[in-house]
Structure 1
């Protein structure tokens, strides 16, 4: 769950049925006082979920005794998660968090290493140009998978879901190590990133299930803190792997395929052991028979809303792929294929919403929670935050190498400023929420202003002849703002919802972030292709005009001209002119982020009513 926006973290982002009469007195989960009477139920629980009709008030009680019981109206996986927190000891919870941190560490290390090894794999098949496409496809599939995975967690439980994630990750790594062509490697990347996102999502939900609201932001930051270490170590490690006489990329993947299940094993053992202990105490009912195979198949097809899932997956695939594939088309945005992708993708996404609202027997999205303004505006905040990020950040690395003449290593270090700063700030922010718990105040007065300040100052400083130190200063401002906002966007959703809704709400947020990121990258690309070549043509000296095409298309050619030469000065000036428009666009987009935060409810994580047993 890294805090780099380039993953999805965000990391951090990372990023929720059976009701038996044998489970005695069970009515728990986090039920904040601010949302009493507005928590989610499934359509078969005598609640019209799509119209947002809540349970009667006498079914929701905020007294401590009722909060420390299991919610018999929740899905089976949620009941099991609640039962687990009632039976494990404090030492077992601490053991769980230690193992979660170790798993997050090896996951971050593996993810960074895979991204470094990928170009060498595609190059070994003489298809280096497909490097980006392999990432696009794997990111797309793994992002869409989060919605059904959230349902897996709620129906079959957290332990089983984590086991699926570990299996998918290991399978992907084994396929990477053994691949004989780029097509197999692309499939392997898909399995790997599906598993990576599943484990990352499970870690977030583990924190949500086992922490008090006042502590939750800190523990979310805690499990993201491995990035403070892995950011600096995976690159040298992979240098050793790829060096002459090294073990090579295949064994590089193979080592991780061995290490990940070893690191995950203690956590899985704890999960299954605790769940078995809770079952032995009768804290949740046994899974009832679903009848014949066909009856069981029908039941799960409805539970997982397969119709809605297929419609959404197809719509998102067409819509998001259009933003990544347009540059490969001769007519680019005018290409009939790209136009069809956008139109049909958008229509299918709308059709999914209509199906969920009016046709689906069981829905992915808790519709009544979408009437809560904090949920709606957290989504618009996340969408605009990631859109703005990708608008200004997409060409930052190129700017560092060309305009500021930074070596590749130093450019990478500067690029890592955000990860280091946001992880550090988020830990401090998590502690601060224990003493003053109003997320809105921090986000509105510090998070968004620091982000806008950093990006706004770069309008001036991200120009030729400016000192690189000012760029680092701006990135530190943005990192501190991001450390607050990334934590807030997840914690805010959980303060106004019920435990069984966490996976669905966070998975929906992740989907929205994916769309925002794709649109942000597209805006950056459109500004770049619209401004940079035009300004380059106007600025280049006459003796360099014959090399215009190679200068425009190759960062190595751009940086090969001597500093201070007329051609290099023209290139740097053109960069600055294009970057200025990107930064102005990002600041305008961030105004939506600020307005969205202003429209949140001013909830205090210290004062929300919730259970007290089995939480840190």
Structure 2
């Protein structure tokens, strides 16, 4: 998520200024405030001192102290380029996956592994946050580049479904970790008041790459084949991403020569280092929350693969053990941890907790109403594949574009709570609620697009505001961890939302088909294939029955999606009314 920087000397009215926040002198407070600047009373978590900050945080603060404005501009140009390449790569990968699957034939392992890889890719942010804080940003970034490149190489060279499945795990760990690390880079190098705009600008490549993935995949399949599609990006990705790593590493060593940042040598023995990093990484806490979340999340996606569904012994055991581990994590962090993964006081901070709950609730809602939406557009509204993709991409385009406006608003007003409370949440409820009525047969597609625009504007507002709320609740020391936690709540919300949507679909759609289809038509055959559904011409009794079944199922999904948004309203009301212009988290040459 990035910003284009033009003015190096004077701030302009239309873009955040690049400012040089000088390191405080020996008499100034260590958090970077001047002596006469009063710390905001709204925060329950004070800025951590330099001595308390972990090595990775101190290293990046040293980097921003020694690099130049020109270097900062180059860094943000590279971040924008990386986001562009990665988003185009993901769009192409999603489009190529059906061709890869077809080349190996249908295999259940592939479906299971795609679930595992997506969850593992989300959970990797928790240990990665500690790597970034303890060892340094460049080290964690390089590890994710390596994982992503290995995944692409394996997908290009795979000859069986097992290799491709393993490649997917490497790919999603690397992809999610890389984009997360870039977000931390932005948080490290931007003032809190400008950060919303920076995050929004970094997502701007999606405005172009959303439309590139399909044509690119088509050109590759008609040309060299899917293997070269992955192979090309296996070459391009390191070439584009590594310059950013070397810039940070160069400036980090430059800072070390000036005796800035932590000492290069600790003087510890091997055993002392093992014990030190075990404490610093909070190995027990990290194990409890990572394994607990993995065991708790996986059943929401894997239950349908079990013969007994939710009654399966394995599914029940995973949920119970996962829940107990998460409870154990809270107890460990509260009473036993020498150095906590995240301060217990911060875990109970109402602004951070509200931001995480908002992230979870809007993802539950999104996955509820978005499930089978693409199929609905083609079957019920009669859209072509291209037209359906345009409508379904309204959210991506609208939210990315509107987020820029939200970023400017927060930059100049310093406020984010009231924007979310009086605009974001109500507009989301309005858009999703209207779909209960408009996502029905014989409804003009224009009304559906209108609802998508409402949800897109609201989504662009809420995603930015929840991230700013999470970061405003803490100091620079814990930015990486709180963003990882916010992402975990999103993953949990997505898993729950997908489960609810699937449960509604499987319990309503086939029943409605049995109820409305003419005698002699096989409901199971219609239920299992969109190709069969589209084979009945519009206006025929079969197609009318299918449309009515879609309308009923989608109505139930939208009702569930609207109901859960009541939680979003309460979550935003929990936030403190923090003003980001009063808070300083970063130092040095930053935006």
Once residues 436 and 573 of structure 2 are traced to their aligned partners in structure 1, the CA distance between those partners, rounded to angstroms, is: 25
| Structure 1 residues 312 and 497, CA gap change in structure 2 (3 angstroms) | closer
Q: Does 1:27 align with 2:30?
A: yes
Selected match of 1:133 from 93, 107, 112: 112
Residue 176 of structure 1 and its aligned partner are, at CA, apart by: 1.2
User: What's 2:8 paired with?
Assistant: none
Does 2:125 correspond to 1:122?
Answer: no
Q: Is 319-328 or 301-310 further displaced after alignment?
A: 301-310
2:135 paired with 1:156:
yes
1:601 aligns with 2:576: yes
CA contact (8 A) 2:126 2:290 kept: no
Residues in 1 aligned to 2:191 and 2:183: alpha-carbon distance in whole angstroms: 14
**RMSD of the TM alignment (CA)?**
2.1
The answer on whether the counterparts of 2:476 and 2:585 sit within 8 Å (CA) in structure 1 is: no
Work out whether residues 32 and 495 of structure 1, in 8 Å CA contact, stay in contact via their aligned partners in 2: no
Indicate which of 81, 88, 106 corresponds to 1:102. Answer: 81
Q: 2:471 aligns to what?
A: 494
- Match 2:51 to one of 58, 62, 72: 72
In the alignment, the residues of structure 2 paired with residue 581 and residue 380 of structure 1 have an alpha-carbon distance, to the nearest angstrom, of 23
How far does residue 180 in structure 1 lie from its aligned partner after superposition?
2.2
Matches within 5 A, 1:109-508: 109-127=88-106, 129-243=108-222, 246-289=223-266, 291-508=268-485
1:39 counterpart residue number = 46
Query: Offset at 1:129?
Result: 4.9
Change in 2 beyond 3 A, CA 1:186/1:305: farther
The residue correspondences of 1:538-549 to structure 2 (distance < 5 A) are 538-544=515-521, 547-549=522-524
After superposition, the C-alpha distances for 1:7-66 in whole angstroms (9 at most, x for unaligned) are xxxxxxxxxxxxxxxx9988236996246662376xxxxxxxxxxxxxxxxxx7xxxxxx
The secondary structure found in structure 2 opposite 1:435 is helix
In the TM superposition, what whole-angstrom CA distance separates every residue of 1:167-186 from its partner, at most 9, and x where no partner exists? 11111111111122211211
- Cα distance in 2 for partners of 1:558, 1:349 equals 44
- The answer on whether the counterparts of 1:451 and 1:478 sit within 8 Å (CA) in structure 2 is yes
Contact 1:84 1:275 (8 Å CA) reproduced:
yes
Question: Structure 2 length normalisation: TM-score?
Answer: 0.91
The farther-off stretch of 335-344 and 289-298 is 289-298
Residue of structure 2 in register with 1:584 after alignment = 559
Q: For residues 551-605 of structure 1, give each alpha carbon's deviation from its aligned partner in whole angstroms, at most 9, with x where no partner exists.
A: 1121111121110111111111111111111111111100110121122111122
Q: Distance in 2 between matches of 1:280 and 1:117?
A: 48
CA shift digits 1:337-357 (9 cap, x unpaired): 222222222222222222222
Q: Which runs of 5+ in 2 are unaligned?
A: 3-25
Relative to structure 1, the CA distance from residue 34 to residue 180 in structure 2 (aligned partners, 3 Å threshold; closer, same or farther) is farther
* Count, aligned residues: 564
Which whole-Å CA distance do the structure 1 matches of 2:80 and 2:44 have between them? 36
CA distance in 2 between counterparts of 1:612 and 1:321 reads 41
* CA distance, structure 1, for counterparts of residue 51 and residue 28 of structure 2: 8
* Cα deviation, residue 131, structure 1: 4.4
Partner Cα distance (1:224, 1:94) in 2? 17
Match 1:553 to one of 524, 528, 534:
528
